[in-house]
Chains A and B, each alone.
Chain A
Amino acid sequence: MTEAFPGALVGPSSKERKYDRQLRLWAASGQQALEEARVLLVNSDGPWGKQSTGVSGVVGVETLKNLVLPGIGGFTIVDPAMVTEPDLGVNFFLEEDSLGKSRAQETCRLLKELNPDVEGNSESKPVTELLQDPEFLPQFKLVLVSGPANKSTLITLSSAAKALGIPVLYTRSVGFYSTFSLQLPAVFPIVETHPDPESTQDLRLLNPWPELAATLASISNLETLDDHQHGHVPYILLLLHYLEKWKETHDGNVPSNYKEKTAFRDLVRSGARTANPEGGEENYDEAVAAVLKSLNPFTLRSSIREIFEMDECNNLTSETADFWLIASAIREFYTKHNVLPLPGSLPDMKAQSADYVSLQNIYKSKARKDMAEVIEVVRRLEAELSPRPAQIADKDIEVFCKNAAHIKVIHGRDLPQLNGEKYTVKAINNALGDPESLVSAFLGFDILDSIITDIQSGKQNEKALDSALAWEAGVDRVIQSLTLEASAAINEETKQRIVQRTQELRRTQGGELHNVSALTGGLVAQEALKVITRQYVPLDNTCVFDGIKSRSEMYRL
Chain B
Amino acid sequence: MVAIDQKLRWKHLYNVLTRSGPFSDEDWVPGPETISTLESSKILVIGAGGLGCEILKNLALSGFKDIHVIDMDTIDISNLNRQFLFRQSDIGKPKAEVAAAFVEKRVKGVKITPYVGKIQDKDEDYYMQFKIVVCGLDSIEARRWINSTLVGMVDFENPESLKPIIDGGTEGFKGQARVILPTLSSCIECQLDMHAPRPAVPLCTIATIPRQPQHCIEWAHQIAWQEQRKDDTFDSDDLEHIGWIYNAALERARQFQIPGVTFQMTQGVVKNIIPAIASTNAVIAAATTSEALKIATSCNPYLENYMMYAGEEGVYTYTFEAEKKPDCPVCGNLARAMTVDPNMTLEAFIEALGERPEAQLKKPSMRTEEKTLYQRFPPQLEEQTRPNLKLKLSDLIADGQEIAVSDPAYTIDFRYRLDFS
Contacts and interface: CB of A to CB of B under 8 A. Distances in A.
Nearest to A85: B8
B212 A549 contact: no
A24 B273 contact: yes
Interface string A7-25: 0010110101111111111
Contact of A539 (B84, B258, B314): B314
A311 interface: no
B129 to A, nearest CB: 24
B313 A536 contact: yes
Interface in A350-366: 351-354, 356-357
B81 A21 contact: yes
Contact of A552 (B5, B106, B107, B317): B317
Interface in B143-187: 172-173, 177
Contact of A12 (B248, B264, B300): B264
A356 B208 CA distance: 13
A2 B251 contact: yes
Contacts of B5: 85
Q: How large is the interface on B (under 10, 10 to 19, 20 to 34, 35 or more residues)?
A: 35 or more
Interface in A309-354: 348-349, 351-354
Contacts of A23: 264
Contacts of B267: 12, 20
Contacts of B289: 515, 518
A69 B278 contact: yes
Contacts of A414: none
B224 interface: yes
A24 B177 CA distance: 23
A2 B228 contact: yes
Contacts of B240: 5, 9
B21 A519 contact: no
Contacts of B9: 85-86, 88-89
A89 B10 contact: yes
A35 to B, nearest CB: 13
A387 interface: no
A89 B12 contact: yes
A14 B280 contact: no
Nearest to B288: A515
Interface stretch (B31-39, B53-61, B405-413): B53-61
Given A20-B267, A85-B4, A548-B23, A522 B283 contact: yes
Interface in B210-263: 210-212, 220, 224, 228, 239-240, 242-244, 246-248, 251, 256-258, 263
B247 A22 contact: no
Contacts of A514: 13, 58, 61-62
B339 interface: no
A219 interface: no
Given A21-B275, A70-B277, A551-B307, A11 B239 contact: yes
B224 A2 contact: yes
Contacts of A525: 278-279, 282
Nearest to B302: A550
A16 B291 CA distance: 36
B268 interface: yes
Interface in B345-363: none
Interface residues of A, number: 88
Nearest to A193: B313
Max chain B C-beta neighbours (<10 A), residue from A194, A356, A507, A509: A507
B325 to A, nearest CB: 22
A434 interface: no
B177 to A, nearest CB: 7
Given A527-B315, A539-B314, A20 B62 contact: no
A99 interface: yes
Nearest to B3: A96
A507 B28 CA distance: 15
Interface string B104-129: 00111000000000000000000000
B82 interface: yes
Given A194-B312, A514-B62, A550-B307, A20 B273 contact: yes
A515 B295 CA distance: 14
B2 interface: yes
Nearest to A94: B106
A549 B12 contact: no
A421 interface: no
B295 to A, nearest CB: 12
A439 to B, nearest CB: 15
B283 A92 contact: no
A488 to B, nearest CB: 25
A547 interface: yes
Contacts of B335: none
Interface in A70-93: 70-71, 84-86, 88-90, 92
B258 A353 contact: yes
A503 B19 CA distance: 11
A235 interface: no
Given A22-B275, A66-B279, A113-B87, A516 B290 contact: yes
Contacts of B258: 353, 357
B81 A69 contact: yes
A540 B207 CA distance: 48
B12 A550 contact: no
A452 to B, nearest CB: 16
Contact of B279 (A24, A504, A522): A522
A412 interface: no
B387 interface: no
B304 to A, nearest CB: 9
A62 B276 contact: no
Contact of A18 (B19, B23, B57, B80): B80
Given A89-B10, A357-B256, A176 B281 contact: no
A538 interface: yes
Contacts of B11: 85-86, 89, 511
A396 to B, nearest CB: 21
Nearest to B299: A176
Nearest to B289: A515
A537 B264 CA distance: 25
Contacts of A351: 209, 211
Contact of B78 (A3, A11, A21, A116): A21
B273 A523 contact: no
Nearest to B246: A9
Nearest to B208: A353
A529 interface: yes
A537 B173 CA distance: 12
A351 B307 CA distance: 40
A11 B243 contact: yes
B22 interface: yes
Contact of A353 (B78, B211, B244): B211
A543 interface: yes
Interface string B69-94: 00000000110111010011000000
A95 B314 CA distance: 34
B385 interface: no
Contacts of B279: 66, 522-523, 525-526, 529
Given A21-B277, A353-B209, 15 more contacts: A18-B80, A22-B81, A92-B61, A96-B108, A501-B22, A503-B21, A503-B22, A504-B22, A508-B16, A511-B11, A537-B313, A539-B314, A547-B300, A550-B307, A550-B317
9 closest residue pairs by CB, A with B: A522-B282, A511-B12, A519-B286, A522-B283, A514-B61, A85-B8, A9-B243, A515-B290, A525-B279
Interface of A: 1-3, 5-6, 9, 11-12, 14, 16-25, 56, 62, 65-66, 69-71, 84-86, 88-90, 92, 95-96, 99, 113-116, 175-176, 193-194, 232, 348-349, 351-354, 356-357, 500-501, 503-504, 507-509, 511-516, 518-519, 521-523, 525-527, 529, 536-540, 543, 547-552, 554
9 contacts: A3-B228, A21-B273, A65-B84, A84-B8, A89-B9, A518-B58, A523-B311, A550-B319, A551-B307
